[in-house]
Chains A and B, each alone.
Chain A
């Protein structure tokens, strides 16, 4: 990591040489190691260091953006000059009201020394235990185990100075047998928080319990969705419904429906990067402090997240959800979503199901079918179980679902009090915090032979 002082000193020196009206610099550093394994050995193992520096420059309301990944004075000056040249040739943006103003930022505890220094050899050592768990039943273990650190700094000519360093450790693993598979995953700021042998046990147990899967016909089933499955649905909801761009282009089911009941009263969906369970950055990539935003409150549509420009268009203020400058055209997106908890245990939820299915995770979801009703499709994967009279009764062959998430989340019959953090695919500091849920009706539209 470069460190706060060195970043501030260097960027301030570069910004001082510019005559642009306003300048913003975003520095994103990442040093990560990722060990991939399959067939119970390590087949890919990477260590990557990178630092990206992006300048946004305004001349009046004309904005230019340029970036580089070299923290060398001449390269930084070249990038700033390039941003300025673009701004000069740009057209005015009537929605630009200036870069962020200085603010108080929450102190986030997102760095762990041990995780930062965790070596490839240490990862391999942990994985040996995972492979041993699978070997007991002749199962192949596959997955990925990553550890690393990073830093984000946002500075601008209005005086914004914010910096945060973080670490991240995550693992996912699949146990695969002759005709079944099982999945488990974990994520935390601290590698020591990951109980890797226990996660391997979960994957192996799911693989064992789903042997000789039964073929089911598509149709409506009562389902228990475990956190990995709920999180995968949330990843899509964040883009098609809760981001500013979808709201602006009217494709979000929230557009024109603020204040209306769109889901069940027991559903509150918020974005909150400030809670220890799913910590994110305390500020966004424009230097605006992150706020807790409820998109759905007790089933009622409340609103979406914003960056500076989308907020101006919507006649409101930024909620601190701006993306990195090169992705700013995608608007603001919630990256640390959470679903309200219930009062049950997972066993209690299963115990209430007379005839249904337990879904461990979902695969290849697509939410573009009809975003106005959040119609999504996808497959079950790595642990689909039959439930009869409140008990798990073996595995089922995978099914394709096609259903409206407005219907699904209007029909949640119960949720666990315990919630799990699940890594989201778009970054180290993004994850979901969700319970296991019981859904009265979930529509399956197709099936497979495995």
Chain B
């Protein structure tokens, strides 16, 4: 197949393109969902095709086809050329790409156990056991658990001479208990909400999630929330749990640091960014203890890979250092705007999608606190855990996030629980109120398999390293 790709690259060169690359992607997916004690669905999918990007007449064109029959590659290449020539009709200047190294390489995810070779019964039985534990109390109206596995094989070739093969394996899962009493409905999820936790890893990741060990606690917390009062409104000190911090980093740091948003090219759907070009090296994004890096090299991170979809090697790029905003996520087209080379974040969610600037593992570096010490050090406030709702404006400033559960912290101790906790803020003010981050022993890279961006909508697999973190005097809201 590599020969066929290289043949198309030569063909496009013969057509006089300024640049072209081709990706052949084959993704095998297995999804298991269990509702109560019934296996709701087991789906196996094989999805493959080619995507060809060209710069011709100084403008971009992209065409993709699921057909990998002989003849269809050249047809798709011609279509990409036709699309580029149409784009050129409105261009304001020629697309210029930052230089990058040429690579011939093979990258693969390190893993121990291939999840596709684990018997279906073993996987189903684990989910059924979880649900049976959750359903052991009558107030649990519904138990839902799931596992997802992705095996991605990709070959990338470019007119600059890169030829890169990657084999990426991703695994994840989790569960949710819905408790109902009259008109009151509350949920608790594990390890986190909306599907659970994910990683570039094999089935050993599922075995390490301790799904069964946490089911009874999750069930009891869901039931307890039915009788819990709503959180009172007003300013308070807040400790956010690790998975909620992952969401906080994602929405209020990850997306605004995407340089395509800053340059206005995502404005029609997702919006722009408050991190304008004049803020680099000047904006005090957070307090001195806030350090955020985009690191596509973190072992096991769901946003880890060998090379991005422009053939740029995975790397670690600083975004916020000692609270100062210092850099963006970039592509080969956008990096020259900030006088840099690409830091390798262009990714597509499949053969049929155009690569976009995407978060990789966008990590808040650990601090030096221990969670017990941090709670003990908090005179009055709340601890919030597990994301429930998220909303942020189109420049990524005004946000309101909700969690599944909150605990009152009084005189350094966790006490009363509250339902439907919400908090709101403005991004830089919020991050500047950060005064403690837990240490490496509490730090975890949370995998998020559903980051939406682009038109047509693409769903990226990204991750965020985070630990429980404290913020002072945050505005808390109340659900009504």
Contact = CB atoms under 8 A, between A and B. Distances in A.
Contact of A379 (B121, B394, B422): B394
A93 B39 contact: yes
B66 A368 contact: no
B456 interface: yes
19 contacts: A32-B456, A34-B456, A36-B265, A43-B60, A47-B83, A120-B82, A144-B269, A172-B268, A250-B141, A326-B41, A326-B43, A328-B41, A364-B392, A366-B390, A370-B479, A372-B184, A377-B400, A400-B398, A400-B424
A445 B424 contact: yes
A400 B455 CA distance: 25
Contacts of B59: 42, 45
Given A363-B271, A363-B393, A379-B394, A369 B402 contact: yes
Interface stretch (B45-53, B303-311, B315-323, B372-380): B45-53
B38 A93 contact: yes
B391 A67 contact: no
Given A249-B178, A363-B271, A69 B62 contact: no
Interface of A: 32-52, 63-70, 72, 75, 78-79, 82-83, 86, 89-91, 93-95, 119-121, 123-125, 127-128, 131, 140, 142-144, 146, 172-174, 176, 248-251, 256, 325-326, 328-329, 363-373, 375, 377-379, 381, 398, 400, 402, 404, 425, 445-450
Contact of B44 (A43, A51, A69, A82): A82
Contact of B391 (A47, A131, A248, A379): A379
A39 B86 contact: no
B67 A49 contact: yes
B236 interface: no
B330 to A, nearest CB: 15
Contacts of A90: 39, 42, 120, 124
B103 interface: no
Interface stretch (B87-95, B107-115, B216-224): B87-95
Contacts of B392: 364, 379
B268 A143 contact: yes
B397 interface: yes
B389 A124 contact: no
B43 A66 contact: yes
A38 B35 CA distance: 44
Nearest to A119: B86
B394 A445 contact: no
Interface of B: 31, 33, 35, 38-49, 59-69, 79-80, 82-87, 89-92, 119-121, 124, 128, 141-142, 178, 180, 183-185, 187, 263-269, 271, 352, 354, 388-395, 397-398, 400, 402, 420, 422, 424, 455-457, 477, 479-480
Given A86-B42, A144-B455, A379-B394, A45 B60 contact: yes
B388 A368 contact: yes
Contacts of A89: 119-121, 124
A123 B86 contact: yes
B472 to A, nearest CB: 19
A contact face: mostly helix, strand, loop, or mixed: strand
Contact of B352 (A33, A48, A176, A248): A48
Most chain A beta-carbon neighbours within 10 Å: one of B84, B184, B394, B477: B394
A382 B185 CA distance: 35
B204 to A, nearest CB: 22
Contacts of B390: 364, 366
A367 B40 CA distance: 25
A38 B456 contact: no
Given A82-B44, A366-B390, A373 B480 contact: yes
B87 A124 contact: yes
B185 A447 contact: no
A46 B35 contact: no
B267 A65 contact: no
B268 A38 contact: yes
A49 B87 contact: no
B184 A39 contact: no
A78 B28 CA distance: 13
Contact of B83 (A46, A367, A370): A46
Most chain B beta-carbon neighbours within 10 Å: one of A46, A70, A140, A366: A46
Nearest to B63: A47
Nearest to B419: A370
A406 B124 CA distance: 39
A91 B39 contact: yes
A120 B352 CA distance: 17
A445 to B, nearest CB: 7
B42 A41 contact: no
A69 B80 contact: no
B49 A69 contact: yes
Contact of A86 (B44, B46, B79, B267): B44
A358 to B, nearest CB: 18
Contacts of A40: 90, 92
Contacts of A368: 388-389, 402
Contacts of B91: 41-42
B480 A363 contact: no
Given A86-B42, A91-B124, A38 B264 contact: yes
A405 to B, nearest CB: 12
B388 A128 contact: no
B90 A37 contact: yes
Contacts of A43: 60, 87, 265
Given A42-B90, A94-B38, A366-B390, A34 B66 contact: no
B89 A124 contact: yes
A41 B43 contact: no
B391 A378 contact: yes
B405 to A, nearest CB: 14
A445 B400 contact: yes
Contact of A46 (B63, B66, B119, B265): B63
Nearest to B40: A329
Contact of A372 (B41, B46, B69, B183): B183
Contact of B268 (A72, A119, A144, A378): A144
B44 to A, nearest CB: 4
B44 A450 contact: no
Contact of A364 (B84, B391, B424): B391
B264 A39 contact: yes
B391 A377 contact: yes
B424 A46 contact: no
Given A67-B45, A144-B455, A326-B43, A121 B400 contact: no
A41 B90 contact: yes
B62 A44 contact: yes
A5 B120 CA distance: 36
A225 B283 CA distance: 36
A178 B173 CA distance: 46
Most chain A beta-carbon neighbours within 10 Å: one of B64, B266, B456: B456
Contacts of B62: 44-47
Contacts of B128: 91
A369 B479 contact: yes
A381 B395 CA distance: 11
Given A69-B49, A445-B477, A448-B398, A48 B64 contact: yes
B163 to A, nearest CB: 24
B141 A249 contact: yes
Most chain A beta-carbon neighbours within 10 Å: one of B90, B185, B264, B271: B90
Contacts of A369: 388-389, 402, 420, 422, 479
A68 B60 CA distance: 29
B418 to A, nearest CB: 13
A144 B400 CA distance: 28
Contacts of A173: 268
Given A46-B83, A47-B83, A379-B391, 10 more contacts: A35-B86, A41-B92, A47-B63, A89-B120, A94-B38, A120-B83, A142-B264, A249-B141, A404-B480, A445-B477
